[in-house]
A and B are shown apart, each in its own frame.
Chain A
Amino acid sequence: MSAAGGDDIAIRVRGLRNSFGSQVVHDGLDMDVRRGEIIGVVGGSGTGKSVLMRAILGLREPQGGHIEVLGVDALSPAGRDSGVIERNTGVLFQNGALFSSLTVAENVAVPLKEHYGQLPDDMIHDLSMLKIRMAGLGEDAGAKLPAQLSGGMRKRAALARALSLDPALLFLDEPTAGLDPIGAAAFDDLIKTLQRALGLTVFLITHDLDTLYTICDRVAVLADRRVLVNAPLAEVERFDHPWVQEYFHGPRGRAAQAAQAKEA
């Protein structure tokens, strides 16, 4: 990795301010993501989880603050032009965002061709097939168009594309939304396995309590325009804030907790 940054912080956000007109989404938001951890980002609808992700990825310019990704200043022109962030991050968008006119294998090959175009075609093909299989799809899925896949398979295909450059950082926007519980559990497992195998840092936006309990190392709660708490789950559960209490100790939270306790 060309990113220096001697410490173990992969993403450092300081004093972030995002607003749409007079509506302020984030104000003075601070957040750290450590290398090699899976951080779950939760919050009610409209608390700006996706906005935070888009700001970190440089898809949206915040109204203020400082963002450092892998030791690179993400908001400075130099940091943005260097391409370091693009080459070291993979993103799984909520609806997959696969290019609908390309087959799955071609989708996965797009970043490879863009950044490593000098590689022979065979190699690119083999690498994309490797990623497709890592994401848990059969090799016959490679020749299919995204429209021919089921929702769960599309998510896996999008994950394969996100992994195609072997990124250090993986952003997942509600990866299990819209999957059936069995598919969602399998997807959680897959993320955990890949994270271990590839040593990924995962920034995971989710509403899924089961995902939080099974795979997240730490949980960041967004509320009141900032990160309320960013800590291991056990600590977050005890945090004294009405939304947090409602979220983790409501009927669904208790069910997920119980399921986790039974498994452990």
Chain B
Amino acid sequence: MSERPSIEHSESHPGILVASGDWTLANATHLLALLREAPDSARDIDGRDISRLDSAGAMMLSRYAVKVGLGLATVEVQPEFQPLTGTVQAICENPPRTVRKDYGFQQMLGRMGYAVEDYTRETLALVGFLGLTLKTGLGVLLRPVRFRLTPTVHHMEQVGLDAVPLVVLLSFMVGAVIAFLGATVLRDFGAEIFVVELVGIAFLREFGVLLTAILLAGRTASAFTAQIGAMQSGEEVDAIRTLGLDPIELLVIPRLVALLVMLPLLTFLAMIAGIGGGLAVSMASLGFTAEMFITRLQETLSVTHFWVGLSKAPLFAMVIALIGCLEGFQVQGTAQSVGERTTSSVVQSISIVILLDAFAALFFMEMDW
């Protein structure tokens, strides 16, 4: 079907190279090898026997012609290929400078610099966004007509109700694991009964709210970023602005309120489920009865633990909602950008939640609450 390309000295006219065959992309590998072997000087190149020529072939022919000290213009080809050689020659005359990517040390330094700058900018942006949201939120408080109830309820369902099975299941499992661990260690001291305090305190103070916040950071922050990001890249956010509406009021406040309401509720469920997990393990492997467990819980735990745990929920809700929405607004049109921003929002919200939790634990300990 296709003729193999060739280039060789003409028998009748010494010094003239005759090119023939298909000089096409399909034969490119063959052509490369051929031209590497080809003589490096010639008086003239005759391309009239070339049966098929495309831009890849023309480019290689042109390069070869330049190498032997001729130009593509001096190579004669079939008239049908002349427009092509003309076009390619005009482009190839000043051969494209190859731009290479640098993967060296300097590049690494440069990227580190960019990363640091990025972090600084994101932190500043987050603080600024917090202020903007608070200001808008205050405005909505003063004029409650502007509060959008329907989207808020919709988001409540999405971030709260739909997350219930996941939060309950995972908390139950973690509660069971903690009870197991505690039982193994405490059995050596004959103090299995302290499993109740262990699970109770752990879930009321820390794990209930922390687990819920981490789950919602993964589940909800990413959803917020992707939703707002898609709107941003579709210029919907700009449309909202030009219609005289406030994107913060329209998009951020309902999500923020939904999380502020739902995260404490979910936290409560997580606490119950975690203690339930502990109870199940205690009954199954430590031989406690349910009454024993619950009486002990009531007698030894003060309600402060519960309030300490729950007091962190609104703070975490704020962090998750703000980061999720802010990252969404920072999306820049491309699919890649949506992906990067979503990753960034999940990573940021989880790490900030854990960081804040650590600080809060220190604070409450010092305050002796």
Contact = CB atoms under 8 A, between A and B. Distances in A.
Interface of A: 2, 100-101, 105, 116, 118-120, 122-123, 125-127, 129-131, 133-134, 139, 142-143, 145-147, 163, 165-166, 193-194, 196-199
A119 B28 contact: yes
A147 B28 contact: no
Closest 10 CB pairs of A and B: A100-B334, A101-B336, A166-B54, A129-B96, A197-B83, A197-B87, A197-B84, A133-B91, A196-B83, A139-B96
25 contacts: A100-B334, A100-B335, A101-B334, A101-B336, A122-B98, A126-B59, A126-B96, A127-B25, A127-B55, A129-B96, A130-B88, A130-B91, A130-B96, A133-B91, A134-B88, A143-B99, A147-B334, A147-B337, A163-B55, A166-B55, A166-B56, A197-B84, A197-B87, A199-B80, A199-B84
B334 A130 contact: no
B86 interface: yes
Contacts of A142: 99
B1 to A, nearest CB: 6
Given A119-B29, A139-B96, A134 B336 contact: no
Contact of B333 (A100, A120, A166): A100
A101 B55 CA distance: 27
A139 B95 CA distance: 10
B87 A123 contact: no
A154 B250 CA distance: 33
Contacts of A123: 28, 32
Nearest to B88: A130
B98 A166 contact: no
Contact of A147 (B96, B99, B333): B333
A143 B80 CA distance: 34
Report which residue of B56, B91, B333 has the largest number of chain A beta carbons within 10 angstroms of its beta carbon.
B56
Contacts of B25: 116, 127, 165-166
Contacts of A145: 334
A260 B334 CA distance: 39
A229 to B, nearest CB: 30
B164 to A, nearest CB: 36
Contact of B56 (A125, A127, A143, A147): A127
A139 B26 CA distance: 25
B24 to A, nearest CB: 7
Given A2-B1, A119-B28, A127-B59, A101 B96 contact: no
Q: How would you classify the secondary structure of chain A's contact residues: helix, strand, loop or mixed? A: helix
Given A101-B336, A166-B25, 10 more contacts: A2-B1, A100-B333, A100-B335, A118-B29, A122-B98, A130-B59, A139-B99, A147-B337, A166-B54, A166-B55
Contact of B28 (A116, A131, A194, A196): A116
Nearest to A199: B80
A113 B22 CA distance: 21
Nearest to B28: A119
Contacts of B43: none
Interface string B36-57: 0000000000000000001110
B13 interface: no
A96 to B, nearest CB: 12
Contacts of A126: 59, 96, 98
Contacts of B55: 127, 130-131, 134, 163, 166, 197-198
B98 A130 contact: no
Interface centre among B55, B88, B91 (most CB of A within 10 A): B55
Contacts of B59: 126-127, 130
A133 B28 contact: no
A143 B101 CA distance: 9
Interface in B58-94: 59, 80, 83-84, 86-88, 91-92
Contacts of A194: 87
Nearest to B332: A147
Nearest to A125: B98
A122 B32 CA distance: 11
Contacts of B86: 197
A2 B88 CA distance: 25
Nearest to B338: A100
A131 B54 CA distance: 12
Contacts of A130: 55-56, 59, 88, 91-92, 96
